[in-house]
């Protein structure tokens, strides 16, 4: 649920507003209004009734007592039942014109799809900020050499541009997946048993008109107990959250005192230690992202709906889906803050390249030495294990010479295709495949 105390900390404020109880009620009423116009266009209710339903819904959206609605929802197990009664009492139309041919699940499912699309726009907007900020870092630091780290240890050189380019591509691809999933959001209209019996013979006409009115897709059949449409979107949000967590963790690690290669532009402090400059945006981005996989797993575990209306698992989806989006929205928002204006300390990166005394170039030296001796790997390994610099080891110098070894230990000449990969990444993320709000 939303929290005025913690939403700003975890970057969830904008998304929480889009998923609030008030937003839920508005979405439910939007569906009822669209249904009224769809039924009117099919000649099932008078055209003027749809306009009156819209007037009444607009009034209820402003004046709805959410606490009272929640209490009344308990007896039926969902808020649509009492809300429809309120709408019927407010609208001066025949009761049958309101909620015509629909069941509660039709309205709840369609409203949830609307909410996911609306909140998803905020997530995609922040994802775009992440991509743009990471791409800018990649462009500016295309050739800024740094040490790569594998399994927590220094490896061979890379460039910060290549690192940031990886972030940009990951975020872009996740956002493209989410964009596609949101575009697939469908209405739900099946009636009591999923056969559109109450709308026959105009059921498909109403379905088409309802989808067009709401800007959602029309499914081939009602999906009351087929939860793939929801699972597809929830999973895409989960991938987006996961894409945020990697850069967030790496930024946190690169910001540690002992490494000090990057710093957020607005680091956080400590209540006890005045010297602290914590990468709070990255830390809270990772925290928000970590809450998402469990909620996605719950959505997946609730896909086994029984018969034509699930007994409990459908109800479990509503708040769980909201949690998925809130966590993902918070992660993208906070990561965007971390990446924007991230300070890169190229001098510290250069310093850290040398702390192993050249051992990070063991691969390159071994390859060169192997052209002269059969036990090159053993010689280089023993030199590294002894702590001796590779340009001081006599067994290496005897065959390669100091000048050659010093050239081999030059980090700027062992970054491979890093620059080319940055260029490729920048071209990739410039493609307009992400759905933009």
**Helix 228-254 to helix 313-339 angle, to the nearest 10 degrees?**
30
Instruction: Convert 79-114 into a string of H (helix), E (strand) and C (coil).
Output: CHHHHHHHHHHHCCCCHHHCCCCCCHHHHHHHHHHH
96, 309, 388, 435: the catalytic one is: 309
Q: Residue 108's closest CA among 118, 96, 99?
A: 99
Assigned token pair, 188: 């739900």
Contact, 317 vs 300, CB < 8 A? no
Q: Residue 198's closest CA among 30, 44, 417, 407?
A: 44
270, 304, 311, 430: the catalytic one is: 270
Determine which helix (DSSP H) or strand (DSSP E) holds 136, and give its type and residue range.
helix 104-140
Assigned token pair, 334: 């906070």
The whole-angstrom separation of Cα 422 and Cα 158 is 11
Q: Residue 241's closest CA among 372, 319, 333?
A: 333
Residue 88 annotated to the active site: no
Residue 142 annotated to the active site: no
**Per-residue b/e over 111-147, b at no fewer than 16 CB within 10 Å?**
bbbbbbbbbbbbbbbbbbbbbbbbbbbbbebbebbbb
43: CB partners within 8 A, 6+ apart: 202
Kindly report the length of the chain: 437
Q: Which residues are catalytic?
A: 270, 309
């Amino acid at each position: 649920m939303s929290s005025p105390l913690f939403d700003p900390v975890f970057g969830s404020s904008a998304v929480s507003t889009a998923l609030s109880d008030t937003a839920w009620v508005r979405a439910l009423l939007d569906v009822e209004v669209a249904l009224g116009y769809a039924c009117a266009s099919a000649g099932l209710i008078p055209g003027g009734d749809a306009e009156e339903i819209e007037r009444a819904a607009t009034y209820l959206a402003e004046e709805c007592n959410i606490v009272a609605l929640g209490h009344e929802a308990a007896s039926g197990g969902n808020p649509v039942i009492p809300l429809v009664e309120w709408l019927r009492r407010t609208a001066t139309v025949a009761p049958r014109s309101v909620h015509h041919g629909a069941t509660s699940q039709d309205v709840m499912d369609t409203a949830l799809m609307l909410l996911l699309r609306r909140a998803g726009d905020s997530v995609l907007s922040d994802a775009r900020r992440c991509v743009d900020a990471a791409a800018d870092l990649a462009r500016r630091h295309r050739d800024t050499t740094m040490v790569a780290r594998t399994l927590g240890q220094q490896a061979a050189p890379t460039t910060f541009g290549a690192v940031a380019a990886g972030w940009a591509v990951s975020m872009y691809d996740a956002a493209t997946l989410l964009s596609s999933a949101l575009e697939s959001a469908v209405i739900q209209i099946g009636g009591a048993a999923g056969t559109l019996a109450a709308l026959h013979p105009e059921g498909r006409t109403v379905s088409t008109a309802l989808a067009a009115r709401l800007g959602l897709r029309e499914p081939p059949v009602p999906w009351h107990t087929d939860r793939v449409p929801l699972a597809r979107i929830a999973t895409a949000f989960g991938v987006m959250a996961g894409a945020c967590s990697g850069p967030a963790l790496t930024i946190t690690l690169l910001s540690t005192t002992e490494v000090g290669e990057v710093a957020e532009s607005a680091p956080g402090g400590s209540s006890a230690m005045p010297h602290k400059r914590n990468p709070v945006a990255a830390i809270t981005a990772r925290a928000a992202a970590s809450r998402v996989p469990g909620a996605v797993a719950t959505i997946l575990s609730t896909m086994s709906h029984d018969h034509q209306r699930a007994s409990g698992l459908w109800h479990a989806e509503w708040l769980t889906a909201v949690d998925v989006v809130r966590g993902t929205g918070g992660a993208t928002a906070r990561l965007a803050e971390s990446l924007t204006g991230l300070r890169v300390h190229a001098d510290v990166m250069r310093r850290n390249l040398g702390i192993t005394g050249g051992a990070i170039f063991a691969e390159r030296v071994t390859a060169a030495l192997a052209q002269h001796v059969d036990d090159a790997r053993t010689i280089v390994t023993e030199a590294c294990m002894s702590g001796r610099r590779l340009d001081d080891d006599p067994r290496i110098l005897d065959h390669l010479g100091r000048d050659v070894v010093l050239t081999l230990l030059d980090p700027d000449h062992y970054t491979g295709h890093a620059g080319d990969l940055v260029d490729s990444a920048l071209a990739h993320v410039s493609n307009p495949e992400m759905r933009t709000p």
